[in-house]
């Protein structure tokens, strides 16, 4: 070993000699603020000393003027007082569960403490901290970059879909969405580039976080050098501690930090409220009349309910003001839900209206919101919360393969979260519009994790790609219903993403690389065979963004007329293509969107998605092709759609506009759900015998939405396995298919090669498969 190597601290080998103190005397040594730090054996006083120094330990640059100021506010966070305790527990354990209530500073501070102890930059590794939402990943990364006195995107960065704000080789602390880390795992199943992984907001139990927990538990057994921190709210801690116990007789250690919030007094109703919207409005007005100044947050379930309630509250409040201007102040009522344009969402941060007269009673602000204000958005200054106890929740019924939204009672955890929104700036009050007994006895402890409420075809494909073959015995925090897994496997097998033995096929491997539902990924991959991949790329992008059609309440007729002008009568999918093309032809013009009642936000999003999908297609050499003959093109597009959506086909029965979804009409007893109608927004000018649909929605009755005409012969040609008649219940649908089979037999069975990948035999794609990079 050479004399010039630092003997006492091999972890400084990454530094240039001048900073290692090599050969330049001991003065230089003391200039390195991290000198003497042994990874994962770092003590609190070492860290505090390094933080208090004049030189940034990570950049070796002098600190900026604001650094010390920010550091002083950081030191007041509850988590800061427990730094020594944290560093000790971090040194001694591979997996830690941490609970920190609102205001503890865990999201910003813990990853920094980890960076100081882990010294990831000395090993060419990174510390990752996941967030369920993009805005959180971005804004926390920005804050932490400021706190660490580095430029965002250099030593501290973030990674979210469409934006990688990191620098290879430099970034050692990375905030990212949970979905992004899951994507990375698909090409790096041991997540080798990370030394510590922190899953934040684990109690929210997003699908991605749940899968990551399962993966990390497995990786931790193989990679003893990987440390894992699960950060959550109190209620769930024990569950995670048990799940992550490394020995059967012990749970994972818990690190606990108090929050910094104000007390919230909770009130219940004496009797159950029969009409929660009416009761909510009444309660808001009661607060306005009788309670001290302070803003109100009311939770309702959806856009229509919220707009309606806002109108009524405004009317009644204006009445009160007119009747008694000396004792009641003015009131502003602000709706909040996600489909609202960002500019209007900003209104929730406006100040309450000023008093009408100089010494009159002060004004008050009421925000009427969906669940978005429960987790994603925090509004300061809220003192009163009105909680009717409901929210819209996704439910999945594997038997009929339908995801839908249902207004359901919230959980206790959710009710507590809502109440907490009243105590952010000073002591507050929460009015629950249900009885205490119902709270205790009827509400579930936790909201069911997303994995139990979702269609898992996407997730199953991802897990398969991750090399997890036995999905049933995968170590889930909460295992999904076997029937849900079965449905997913069935779909993936029909799409030829899995072979009959349940192994992922080369095609399935490529499908998994697309950030899309398997059906969409499939049709995109086969689209070059139909010479319309350019168009399918657009249609796929349009189908994976929110609805582009706007229909304001007071301008429905104008909106419908604008839509009619853009409609292609052959099918809604072609209409989507047309809308996007017109948007591009009109140079993404905002005014063009506006006059045509289209959501520019959604179209812009489609544009982003399209570009991302195109990059993925290029990675796999999937050509972008178009046909110049429009008539032929339109036929081919609908044929390619069949290759992905053959399981979402409906057949017309009788002349009343009723359709029967294929295969759901078991035997002689069609289930209620299988009789559907074309959604009124459907642009078809006829009622074709066969249609494919993108969406099944259950509202006033079952509807199918985004519909295109197809031909029976395409079904049996491009999805022969699925339309094997021996698997069909008797009925008109089966007889119609039988006629198509007979006709084909009469023609002589000339099997098309198009869409042949349905049987999973195509090896050509396998050769093209590359594993480099990610998108």
The total number of residues shown for the chain amounts to: 775
Q: Is 125 in a helix, a strand, or coil? A: coil
- CB 495 → DNA: shortest distance, Å? 16
Neighbours of 642 (CB within 10 A): 24
Please answer whether residues 96 and 232 qualify as being in contact, where contact means their C-beta atoms are separated by less than 8 angstroms.
no
Nearer to DNA, 391 or 538 (CB): 391
Nearer to DNA, 332 or 599 (CB): 599
Q: Show the site string, 496-525: x = touches DNA by CB under 7 A, - = not.
A: -------------------xx---------
Residues facing 649 on adjacent strands:
692
Of 206, 455, 457, 614, the one binding DNA (CB under 7 A) is: 206
Please answer whether residues 382 and 297 qualify as being in contact, where contact means their C-beta atoms are separated by less than 8 angstroms.
yes
3-state helix, strand, coil in the chain (%, to 5): 45, 15, 40
- CB 183 → DNA: shortest distance, Å? 4
- Binders of DNA among residues 396 to 425 (CB under 7 A) are 405
The sheet carrying 428-432 orders its strands as 264-268, 428-432, 382-387, 295-299, 364-369, 331-336
Q: State yes or no: residue 338 binds DNA (CB under 7 A).
A: yes
Q: State yes or no: residue 391 binds DNA (CB under 7 A).
A: yes
> Closest by alpha carbon to 383, among 513, 239, 262, 546?
262
Nearer to DNA, 293 or 546 (CB): 546
Nearer to DNA, 303 or 499 (CB): 303
> Closest by alpha carbon to 435, among 467, 392, 367, 389?
389
Q: State yes or no: residue 282 binds DNA (CB under 7 A).
A: no
Nearer to DNA, 79 or 456 (CB): 456
> Tokens 């330049």 — which residue?
24
Nearer to DNA, 57 or 335 (CB): 335
Of 262, 392, 601, 744, the one binding DNA (CB under 7 A) is: 392
- CB 338 → DNA: shortest distance, Å? 3
> Closest by alpha carbon to 729, among 658, 644, 651, 677?
651
Q: State yes or no: residue 303 binds DNA (CB under 7 A).
A: yes
Reading the block at residue 174, the tokens are: 């990375």
> Closest by alpha carbon to 682, among 576, 574, 572, 598?
572
Return all residues near 523 (Cβ < 8 A) that are at least 6 apart.
536, 540, 640, 641, 643, 644, 645
- CB 452 → DNA: shortest distance, Å? 12
From residue 15, how far is each of 10, 25, 714 by CA, in Å? 10, 16, 65
- CB 269 → DNA: shortest distance, Å? 24
- CB 397 → DNA: shortest distance, Å? 14
- CB 16 → DNA: shortest distance, Å? 36
Q: DSSP code of 133?
A: S
Q: State yes or no: residue 742 binds DNA (CB under 7 A).
A: no
Nearer to DNA, 9 or 301 (CB): 301
Return all residues near 617 (Cβ < 8 A) that are at least 6 apart.
524, 533, 537, 624
Of 52, 304, 483, 685, the one binding DNA (CB under 7 A) is: 304
- Binders of DNA among residues 608 to 637 (CB under 7 A) are none
- CA atoms of 65 and 463, how far apart (whole Å): 48
Reading the block at residue 79, the tokens are: 């988590």
Nearer to DNA, 56 or 616 (CB): 616
Please answer whether residues 463 and 471 qualify as being in contact, where contact means their C-beta atoms are separated by less than 8 angstroms.
yes
> Tokens 């006709």 — which residue?
743
Reading the block at residue 346, the tokens are: 């900003």
- CB 248 → DNA: shortest distance, Å? 34
Q: With CB under 7 A as the contact rule, which of the stretches 1-9, 231-239, 589-597, 674-682 interacts with DNA?
A: 674-682
- Binders of DNA among residues 444 to 473 (CB under 7 A) are 458
- CB 209 → DNA: shortest distance, Å? 10
- CB 681 → DNA: shortest distance, Å? 4
> Closest by alpha carbon to 339, among 315, 367, 304?
304
- CB 128 → DNA: shortest distance, Å? 13
Q: State yes or no: residue 676 binds DNA (CB under 7 A).
A: no
Q: State yes or no: residue 372 binds DNA (CB under 7 A).
A: yes
Q: Show the site string, 680-719: x = touches DNA by CB under 7 A, - = not.
A: xx---------------x-xx--x----------------
Nearer to DNA, 32 or 164 (CB): 164
Q: With CB under 7 A as the contact rule, which of the stretches 19-27, 369-377, 668-676, 751-759 interacts with DNA?
A: 369-377
Q: Show the site string, 534-573: x = touches DNA by CB under 7 A, - = not.
A: ----------x-xx-x-x-x--x---x-------------
Nearer to DNA, 119 or 613 (CB): 613
Nearer to DNA, 553 or 628 (CB): 553
- Binders of DNA among residues 210 to 249 (CB under 7 A) are none
- Binders of DNA among residues 109 to 148 (CB under 7 A) are 132-135
Q: Binders of DNA: how many residues, by CB under 7 A?
A: 47
- Radius of gyration, CA atoms only, the chain: 29
Phi, psi torsion values for 271, nearest 5 degrees: -125, 155
The number of CA neighbours under 13 Å toward the Cβ of 706 is: 22
Phi, psi torsion values for 174, nearest 5 degrees: -125, 120
The sheet carrying 254-257 orders its strands as 163-165, 156-160, 173-177, 126-131, 194-199, 227-232, 95-100, 254-257
- CB 154 → DNA: shortest distance, Å? 20
Of 102, 339, 416, 582, the one binding DNA (CB under 7 A) is: 339
Q: DSSP code of 122?
A: G
Of 364, 429, 651, 679, the one binding DNA (CB under 7 A) is: 679
> Tokens 């930090």 — which residue?
257
- Binders of DNA among residues 146 to 205 (CB under 7 A) are 160-161, 177-180, 183
- CB 139 → DNA: shortest distance, Å? 11
- CA atoms of 460 and 472, how far apart (whole Å): 11
Contact residues for DNA, defined by CB under 7 A: 132-135, 160-161, 177-180, 183, 206, 208, 301-304, 337-339, 370-372, 376, 391-394, 405, 458, 515-516, 544, 546-547, 549, 551, 553, 556, 560, 679-681, 697, 699-700, 703
């Amino acid at each position: 070993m050479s004399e010039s190597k630092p003997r006492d601290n091999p972890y400084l080998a990454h530094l240039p000699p001048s900073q290692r103190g090599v050969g330049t005397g001991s003065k230089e040594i003391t200039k390195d603020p991290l000198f003497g730090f042994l990874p994962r054996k770092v003590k609190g006083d070492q860290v505090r000393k390094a933080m208090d120094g004049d030189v940034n330990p990570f950049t070796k640059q002098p600190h900026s003027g604001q650094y010390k100021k920010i550091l002083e506010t950081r030191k007041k966070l509850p988590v800061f007082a427990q730094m020594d305790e944290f560093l000790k527990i971090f040194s001694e354990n591979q997996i830690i569960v941490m609970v920190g209530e609102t205001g503890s500073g865990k999201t910003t501070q813990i990853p920094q403490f980890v960076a100081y102890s882990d010294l990831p930059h000395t090993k060419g590794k990174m510390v990752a901290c996941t967030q369920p939402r993009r805005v959180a990943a971005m804004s926390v990364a920005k804050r932490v970059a400021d706190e660490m006195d580095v430029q965002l995107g250099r030593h501290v960065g973030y990674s979210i879909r469409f934006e990688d704000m990191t620098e290879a080789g430099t970034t050692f602390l990375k905030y990212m969405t949970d979905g992004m880390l899951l994507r990375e795992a698909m090409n790096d199943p041991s997540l080798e580039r990370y030394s510590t992984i922190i899953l934040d907001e684990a109690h929210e139990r997003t699908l991605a976080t749940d899968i990551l927990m399962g993966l990390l538990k497995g990786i931790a057994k193989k990679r003893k050098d990987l440390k894992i921190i699960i950060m959550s709210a109190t209620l769930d801690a024990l569950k995670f501690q048990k799940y992550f116990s490394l020995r059967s007789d012990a749970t994972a250690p818990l690190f606990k930090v108090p929050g910094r919030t104000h007390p919230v007094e909770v009130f219940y109703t004496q009797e159950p409220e029969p009409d929660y919207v009416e009761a909510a409005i009444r309660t808001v007005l009661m607060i306005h009349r009788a309670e001290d100044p302070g803003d109100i947050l009311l939770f309702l379930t959806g856009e229509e309910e919220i707009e309606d309630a806002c109108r009524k509250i405004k009317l009644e409040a204006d009445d009160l003001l007119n009747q008694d201007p000396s004792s009641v102040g003015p009131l502003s009522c602000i709706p909040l839900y996600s489909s609202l344009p960002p500019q209007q969402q900003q209104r929730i941060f406006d100040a309450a209206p000023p008093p009408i007269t100089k010494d009159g009673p002060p004004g008050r602000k009421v925000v009427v919101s969906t669940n978005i204000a429960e987790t994603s958005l925090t509004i300061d200054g809220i003192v009163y919360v009105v909680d009717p106890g409901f929210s819209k929740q996704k439910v999945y019924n594997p038997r009929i393969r339908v995801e839908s939204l249902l207004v359901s009672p919230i959980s206790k955890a959710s009710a507590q979260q809502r109440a907490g929104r009243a105590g952010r700036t000073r002591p507050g009050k929460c009015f629950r519009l249900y009885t205490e007994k119902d709270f205790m006895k009827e509400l579930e402890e936790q909201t069911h994790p997303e994995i139990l409420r979702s269609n898992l075809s996407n997730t199953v494909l991802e897990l398969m790609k991750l090399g997890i073959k036995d999905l049933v015995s995968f170590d889930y925090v909460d295992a999904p219903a076997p029937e849900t897994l079965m449905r997913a496997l069935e779909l993936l097998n029909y799409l030829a993403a899995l072979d009959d033995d349940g192994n992922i096929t080369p095609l399935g491997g490529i499908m998994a690389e697309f950030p899309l539902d398997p059906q969409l990924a499939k049709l995109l991959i086969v689209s070059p065979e139909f010479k319309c991949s350019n168009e399918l790329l657009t249609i796929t992008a349009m189908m994976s963004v929110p609805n582009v059609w706007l229909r304001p309440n007071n301008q429905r007729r104008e909106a419908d007329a604008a839509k009619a002008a853009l409609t292609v009568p052959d099918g809604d999918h072609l209409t989507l293509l047309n809308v996007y093309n017109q948007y591009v032809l009109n140079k993404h013009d905002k005014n063009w969107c506006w006059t045509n009642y289209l959501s520019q936000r959604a179209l812009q999003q489609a544009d982003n998605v399209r570009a991302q999908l195109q990059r993925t297609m290029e990675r796999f050499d999937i050509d972008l092709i178009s046909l110049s003959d429009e008539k032929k093109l339109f036929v081919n597009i609908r044929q390619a759609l069949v290759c992905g959506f053959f399981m979402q086909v409906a057949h017309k029965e009788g002349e009343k506009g009723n359709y029967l979804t294929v295969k759901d009409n078991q035997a002689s007893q069609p289930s209620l759900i299988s009789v559907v109608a074309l959604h009124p927004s459907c642009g078809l000018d006829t009622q074709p015998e066969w249609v494919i649909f993108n969406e099944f929605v259950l509202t006033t009755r079952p509807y199918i939405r985004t519909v295109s005409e197809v031909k029976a012969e395409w079904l049996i040609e491009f999805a022969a396995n699925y339309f094997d008649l021996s698997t069909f219940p008797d009925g008109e649908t089966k007889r119609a298919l039988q006629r198509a089979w007979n006709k084909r037999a009469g023609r002589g069975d000339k099997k098309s090669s198009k869409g042949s990948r349905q049987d999973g035999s195509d090896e050509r794609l396998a050769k093209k498969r590359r594993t480099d990079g990610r998108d």
